[in-house]
Chain A
């Protein structure tokens, strides 16, 4: 049986390692072939970008060689897919190879698209790539005071990022001794400060306590860079001296080009993790259109479910469980306190008051991530 994983991010890597362990005898005997195709030979710890833009991590801490994270049974190739031929169970790669499969897993992720809003890319700072996070770091260092507006596009990767960057900016400016010269103004697309109701109930009084102003039902429409004004779809405006955005995301271009899903997000069964109308194609992580957080934690648990199921297909002839939608997200609440939100498809989260202990757990996880990607944690 040929198993092909397209994508070497967190989902593809955890899944590949999970399968390589579960199917070690079958891989040794040649009964199963496990191949991973990726666009890069490097693996980035994307949550580290939140720390990079504030000078709390450095770029070298964010990367490992992808091959060093993978179990020996995985045939890894840096050769991104350009064409999906799902009706004939094969893909074509950038180098011109045609690769067939019995089971395909698509885990290509998503990308920040500030250019979807006129004027945003030119006038806002963001931290969703190494380059933009470094640019934001330098801009923050030069900033001496004024109105900082945080603006959030939809959909976006890491639903906690808007709150986290706001709380961390509060501490950043406080540490520099200029918090009294900075007005932090947070905007959010729906009618409360976070999509999770219990998180919003906790964060709103925290904003009040810290003197952070906020405006809800604010969806970015365009940026007037000349006059430093952000305009919303709802008809309101936010004047800024420094605009920071969590931009809207799209799925990867190859997904859109192949017509696999609107916006690059593939229609996916949330329990089976199969692509609509293609029972031998699985989709995990940001690539799905499942109404769930686009976050590393989401794909971590999906990869574990899928690893168990694909191994069961090989060994038993059928998958053994449905995915429950589990997510566990840390929420940094400043430079030294954090809490977390844990939920699934049926149970909402109930975040506890932030503590230093959870913050240090998150700091530890920033290092432990590499063990997580290897499937050891």
Chain B
């Protein structure tokens, strides 16, 4: 299995974690697993909401030392 793709968007104001994820997903393959790292609290809600809306699989979310980790699988 391919190595998990880490989207390190800690401290990103512009374009921000969700935009970074959308951009990175474009260059990933269906079935790839990604993990977004974000220090923006809003993204911890926005990213799962968007993943559900578009249909990618959420593998898990957690907060560790002020960093939100959102793991997902590209489904389409």
Residue ranges of A at the interface with B (Cβ–Cβ < 8 Å): 116, 154-155, 159, 189-191, 195-197, 217, 219, 233-235, 248, 262-263, 291-293, 325, 327, 341, 343, 345-346, 348-349
> Is residue B72 contacting chain A, with contact meaning CB distance below 8 A?
no
Complex Cα gap A62–B23 (Å): 29
Contact of A195 among B16, B26, B50, B54 (CB under 8 A): B16
Q: Are A292 and B12 in contact (CB under 8 A)?
A: yes
Complex Cα gap A292–B10 (Å): 11
Q: Contacts A195-B19, A197-B42 known; A263 to B12 CB distance under 8 Å?
A: no
Q: Contacts A190-B46, A191-B50, A233-B54 known; A343 to B26 CB distance under 8 Å?
A: no
> Is residue B30 contacting chain A, with contact meaning CB distance below 8 A?
no
Residue ranges of B at the interface with A (Cβ–Cβ < 8 Å): 7-20, 22-24, 26-28, 42, 46, 49-50, 53-54
Complex Cα gap A191–B51 (Å): 12
Q: Are A343 and B14 in contact (CB under 8 A)?
A: yes
Complex Cα gap A346–B10 (Å): 10
In the complex, chain A residues whose CB is within 8 Å of the CB of B20: 155, 291
Complex Cα gap A212–B22 (Å): 25
Shortest A260–chain B CB gap in Å is 13
Q: Are A217 and B23 in contact (CB under 8 A)?
A: no
Q: Are B54 and A234 in contact (CB under 8 A)?
A: yes
Q: Are A293 and B22 in contact (CB under 8 A)?
A: no
Complex Cα gap A196–B11 (Å): 12
- Most A C-beta atoms less than 10 A away, residue of B8, B10, B14, B16: B14
Complex Cα gap A248–B19 (Å): 11
Complex Cα gap A230–B7 (Å): 28
Q: Are B13 and A155 in contact (CB under 8 A)?
A: no
* Pair count A-B, CB < 8 A: 78
Complex Cα gap A197–B11 (Å): 13
Shortest B3–chain A CB gap in Å is 12
Contact of B23 among A154, A234, A346 (CB under 8 A): A154
Q: Are A291 and B15 in contact (CB under 8 A)?
A: yes
In the complex, chain A residues whose CB is within 8 Å of the CB of B18: 189-191
Complex Cα gap A343–B15 (Å): 12
Contact of A263 among B9, B13, B14, B26 (CB under 8 A): B26
Shortest B36–chain A CB gap in Å is 10
Q: Are A349 and B13 in contact (CB under 8 A)?
A: yes
Q: Are B46 and A191 in contact (CB under 8 A)?
A: yes
Q: List 24 A-B contacts (CB under 8 A).
A: A154-B15, A154-B22, A190-B19, A190-B46, A191-B46, A191-B49, A195-B19, A196-B14, A196-B16, A197-B42, A217-B53, A233-B54, A235-B53, A248-B23, A263-B23, A263-B26, A291-B9, A291-B10, A291-B12, A292-B14, A327-B14, A341-B14, A343-B13, A349-B14
Q: Are A189 and B19 in contact (CB under 8 A)?
A: yes
Complex Cα gap A155–B27 (Å): 11
Q: Are A248 and B11 in contact (CB under 8 A)?
A: no
Q: Are A155 and B46 in contact (CB under 8 A)?
A: no
Contact of A291 among B8, B26, B46, B54 (CB under 8 A): B8
Task: In the A-B complex, list the 9 residue pairs whose CB atoms are closest, starting with the nearest.
Answer: A291-B12, A263-B27, A155-B23, A262-B27, A195-B16, A195-B15, A154-B22, A291-B9, A190-B18
Shortest B35–chain A CB gap in Å is 14
In the complex, chain B residues whose CB is within 8 Å of the CB of A343: 13-14
Closest to A298 in B: B14
- Most B C-beta atoms less than 10 A away, residue of A233, A345, A348: A233
- Most A C-beta atoms less than 10 A away, residue of B7, B10, B24, B42: B24
Q: Are B26 and A190 in contact (CB under 8 A)?
A: no
